[in-house]
Amino acid sequence: MQRDRNGTGARVPTGRLERMLHMGGIASGIAGGLAAGGLKTLAQGKRPDMASLLMTPANGLRVTEGLSHLRGAALKLGQMLSMDSGMVLPEELTAILARMRDDAQPMPPKQLQSVLNAEWGAGWYGRFRQFDLRPFAAASIGQVHRAVLPDGQVLAIKVQYPGVRDSIDSDVDNMASLLRLPGLLPRDMNLAPLMAEAKRQLHAEADYHAEAQHLTRFGTLLLGDEGFTLPQIIPELCTGRVLAMSYLQSAPLESLITAPQATRDRVAAALIDLVLRELFDFGAMQTDPNLANFRHDPKSGRIVLLDFGAVQPIAPALATDFRALLVAALDGTPELVRKAMLRIGYFAETTAPHHQDLIQSLFDMAMEPLRQSTHFDFGQSNLLDRLRDRGLALGAERDLAHVPPAATLFLHRKIAGTYLMAARLGARVALRPMVERYPQAHIDISPGRDISP
């Protein structure tokens, strides 16, 4: 395993065969651990439990170090699943995946230069007054460098790891194989739709031309908004694998933890309102809630929005369905809530009634902050703990194999991440008035209206 012991980076495996063999090495290591653990358990006169054998610290280290070395789609998918936005993964698996959120190694300078030679041509360094070969940020799909143009303009240059785009499908298939190891998930759980959507999203996210368009679009949508600021694209330096943009001086959002309560409340409210605007007004949502994508400008007080690779379109029908669900959850009956949840796909008509009850109870609990007109204290609430306990109880239902639609899961990933940010800030926000600002008059939730599919 190549670890970045001296700060020079670790080479990214590029070819499909090389990446497949690396993933195979992870699986082989897990299998060896399973065999050893199973023999030890048998020697103690006990029956081996596959789930507990899989979730050992040693296997967790194999997975996180292995995927962090691979980078690309394999690591990105692990980070996506770590948010557990509706699948209710086993607690141990979620903990392993969570370790991958910020665990990516940069590529070494020699490999970086090869990538930039291919994208910009030989002699590219002469286009800059300065180009820092050491990245100031490294993520699953690419790393970011600081550069200075001859006129003094400071840029942030995001460079995609080599081989990422070509290995997406095989990486996702290999990750799906790991998830299908016995004891991790219900045997009948159909991962195919989620994996297909993950491939689609990752192919889109690996297209930096598309990300430049998303960044430009959101910049237009938020033009004149005093709460947010976004980088500007430098088109002449952008390629499908290099994204060049203006560098915005900012601080981590976590630096506001000690800020005045009013500041923390304002920032959290702005982030929550942005989610509502994305869902109901913009028709598009940035679905990656990684804390590093949201920063703060101490001078202007604005929130800095970064990374628009994971932008997903919001179909008008889906936005209408979620609006109907919110209206039903705020003022409707449990029957109307269940119909709206069925329409969105939280469960199917064939889902056992007691499983529908469990899923609806989880949703009702999550709606508690929206049902109160007073300020909800994110920092003091134990709602996350209660949701986790209820979710684990639901995950223990090993015959519950239904997986909500991928679009819903990615949307919930953003909602869950925004909640976590507000909790980290210890913010207090009145949520119901915010939700009620969005047009709802055309949504009829009267008992006589059928909103079922």
pLDDT digits (tens, 9 = 90+) for 3-21: 343 455 665 555 554 555 4
Strands 303-305 and 251-252: unpaired
Rounded CA gap, 63 and 61, in Å? Answer: 5
Count of H-run helices and E-run strands, the chain: 17, 13
Q: Which of 193-197, 226-230, 291-295 has the lowest mean pLDDT?
A: 193-197
Would you state the structure tokens that stand for residue 257, as one six-digit string? 């933890």
Which pLDDT value is given to residue 447?
A: 42
What is the DSSP-derived secondary structure letter of residue 315?
-
Q: What angle do CA 200, 206, 211 make, to 5 degrees?
A: 100
Identity at 169, one-letter amino acid code: D
Contact 277, 317 (CB under 8 A): no
Would you state the structure tokens that stand for residue 431, as one six-digit string? 């949520």
Q: pLDDT tens digit string along 134-188?
A: 999 877 788 999 999 999 999 999 999 888 888 888 778 877 776 666 555 666 6
Residue spans of beta strands (DSSP E) within 139-281: 142-148, 154-160, 228-229, 242-246, 251-252
Binning the chain into helix, strand and coil, the percentages to the nearest 5 are: 55, 10, 35
Sorting pLDDT into bands at 50, 70 and 90, what band is 205?
A: confident
Local structure of 303: helix, strand or coil: strand
CA of 198: how far to CAs of 229, 312, 315, in Å?
29, 11, 17
- Over 50: is that where the pLDDT of 53 sits? no
- Over 50: is that where the pLDDT of 34 sits? no
- Over 90: is that where the pLDDT of 412 sits? no
What residue has token string 């507000």?
422
Would you state the structure tokens that stand for residue 426, as one six-digit string? 């210890």
Which pLDDT value is given to residue 252?
A: 92
Which pLDDT value is given to residue 125?
A: 94
- Over 50: is that where the pLDDT of 346 sits? yes
Q: pLDDT tens digit string along 296-331?
A: 999 999 999 999 988 989 999 999 999 999 989 988
Rounded CA gap, 135 and 106, in Å? Answer: 7
Would you state the structure tokens that stand for residue 173, as one six-digit string? 């298939």
- Over 60: is that where the pLDDT of 446 sits? no
φ/ψ region of 263 (left if φ > 0, alpha if ψ in -120 to 50, else beta) reads alpha
**Is 355 buried (19+), middle (13-18) or exposed (0-12) by CB count in 10 A?**
middle
Which pLDDT value is given to residue 397?
A: 66
Domain ranges of the chain: 16-106+164-204, 252-453
DSSP 329-353: HHHS-HHHHHHHHHHHTSS-TTS-H
Sorting pLDDT into bands at 50, 70 and 90, what band is 192?
A: confident
- Rg, C-alpha atoms of the chain: 23
Which pLDDT value is given to residue 409?
A: 80
Would you state the structure tokens that stand for residue 297, as one six-digit string? 């400008």
- Over 60: is that where the pLDDT of 45 sits? no
Q: To the nearest 10°, the Cα dihedral for 188, 193, 195, 196?
A: 150
Would you state the structure tokens that stand for residue 371, as one six-digit string? 């049902």
- Listed in sequence order, the DSSP H helices in 206-303 are 208-221, 261-277
Greater pLDDT, 85 or 1: 85
Greater pLDDT, 100 or 428: 428
With a pLDDT cut of 90, the percent of the chain lying above it is: 44
Contact 272, 418 (CB under 8 A): yes
Which pLDDT value is given to residue 398?
A: 58
What is the DSSP-derived secondary structure letter of residue 171?
H
Closest C-alpha to 253, from 312, 215, 306, 214: 306
Greater pLDDT, 322 or 69: 322
**Phi, psi dihedral angles at 156 (to 5 degrees):** -110, 125
Contact 72, 163 (CB under 8 A): yes
Which pLDDT value is given to residue 448?
A: 43
DSSP 61-77: HHHHHHHHHH-HHHHHH
Average pLDDT value for the chain: 79
List, by residue number, the catalytic residues: 288
Q: Which of 360-364, 408-412, 426-430 has the lowest mean pLDDT?
A: 408-412
Local structure of 426: helix, strand or coil: coil
Rounded CA gap, 295 and 245, in Å? Answer: 16
Rounded CA gap, 143 and 182, in Å? Answer: 35
Q: pLDDT tens digit string along 81-140?
A: 554 444 445 555 555 555 554 455 788 899 999 999 999 999 999 999 999 999 998 777
> At 418, which helix (H) or strand (E)?
helix 406-425
First to last CA, the chain: 50
Rounded CA gap, 119 and 242, in Å? Answer: 7
Which pLDDT value is given to residue 449?
A: 43
Which pLDDT value is given to residue 44?
A: 47
Would you state the structure tokens that stand for residue 220, as one six-digit string? 């237009």
Which pLDDT value is given to residue 26?
A: 54
pLDDT mean over 331-344: 91
Strands 303-305 and 284-286: unpaired
